[in-house]
Amino acid sequence: MKKHFLVKIAHLYYENDQTQQEIADQLGISRMAVSRALQKARDEGIVDIRVNYEEGYYEMEESLKDKYQLTDILITPFQQGESLKHILAQNTAQYLQRILEFGDLVGVGWGSTLSFLPQYTRSFEPMDLTFVPILGGAGQVSMEMHANQIAFGLAQSLGGRFRFLHAPAVVDSPQLRGALLSGKSIRAALELAKKSKTVILGIGAPLDPLSTMNDSGYITEDELSKLEQAGAVCDVGSCVYLNSASQLCPLDLNDKIVGLSYDDLREIPTVIAVAGGAGKHAAVQTALRSGLVHILITDEETAGFLTLS
């Protein structure tokens, strides 16, 4: 092909925004000929395609994937307050659309950010997904934040199925937890959650006075005091509490949680953590170092902290 012909096709395609079929019709050639000409124009340097990363985070994402041995990481712009939760939820929804497969079983955590997920999945094509909570009802927070409600909302918006976990998140004693798990419905729901191909959960800073968990009544003041004594820095889905060494905190609370355990989470093929904001920087880093998280969706400021620390 002569150079001036390649230049003409490249001009029509890249500068006039014409489709390959429109160019083919205009020049009286096949669409395949146009495609070959565009490839040749790139090969010969007539077209120089550059990706503008000014508004993206590709290099930071790749660096953090290597640093924390993650399967993937998605960084969003930082926003203040509730806006950050919305942008995290929206990007999580778009990410799920890319990675979930027809018929998948998906475990769901609780929290204010995850509560926005259903509204950002309403336009998606049905995928015959099943959603199951990984934790019982959490304290006195609004129903929209409960894992049951999020699982139900996602199933509704995606035309899928859901399974409720009819139990509190934390009970008064290991004996009471054992009694609850002896019931067929609760035991079956948790056994199903353990089989999840993908789990979506939040990361919390349990000792942060501004955290959602502290407002929820999820755990008592006495349990918060024990978490402080144990050096708790992070909670993963409010199922697992980790110290600064990213190790499981030795607490009797572990035996009172009606949800997936540390060992259960380690067996899940894909754990997606969604978390951001300055109050969660150390908690997110602790969770990543534990190896429990495979994919992180966070904001640029949290990512900056993870890069420098």
Which pLDDT tens digit goes with each residue over 9-35?
989 988 887 888 899 999 999 988 888
Overall average pLDDT of the 232-241 stretch: 95
Phi, psi of 96 (to 5 degrees): -60, -35
Give domain status of residue 50, yes or no: no
The string of DSSP codes covering 185-217 is HHHHHHHHHHT-SEEEEEEE-TT-TTSHHHHHT
Q: What is the pLDDT of residue 204?
A: 93
- pTM of the predicted model, to two decimals? 0.81
| Mean local confidence (pLDDT), 89-118 | 94
Q: For 173-216, how does the pLDDT look when each residue is reduced to its tens digit (9 = 90+)? A: 999 999 999 989 999 999 999 999 999 999 999 888 666 666 66
Residues 143 and 221 placed together within one structural domain of the fold: yes
pLDDT at position 215 is 60
Hey, how many other C-beta atoms are within 10 angstroms of the C-beta on 237?
28
Give yes or no: residues 163 and 293 share one domain: yes
Is residue 94 assigned to a domain?
yes
In a domain, 32, yes or no: yes
51 against 3, higher pLDDT = 3
Is 90 found in the same domain as 11?
Answer: no
Q: Is residue 199 part of a domain?
A: yes
Quick one: pLDDT at residue 54? 47
Same domain, 36 and 99: no
pLDDT at 139: 61
Give yes or no: residues 31 and 115 share one domain. Answer: no
Decide if 75 contacts 57 (C-beta within 8 A): yes
Query: Residue 230 is part of which domain span?
Result: 58-308
Closest C-alpha among 212, 259, 263 to residue 239: 259
- Which range is least confidently modeled, 124-128, 178-182, 236-240? 124-128
pLDDT at 308 over 90: yes
Q: Is the pLDDT of residue 63 over 70?
A: yes
| 65 in a structural domain | yes
Give the CATH number, domain containing residue 289.
Answer: 3.40.50.1360
Contacts (Cβ under 8 Å, ≥6 apart) of 196: 105, 106, 107, 132, 134, 268
CATH of the domain at 7: 1.10.10.60
For residues 13 and 78, membership in a common domain is answered with: no
Per DSSP, the three-state class of 13 is helix
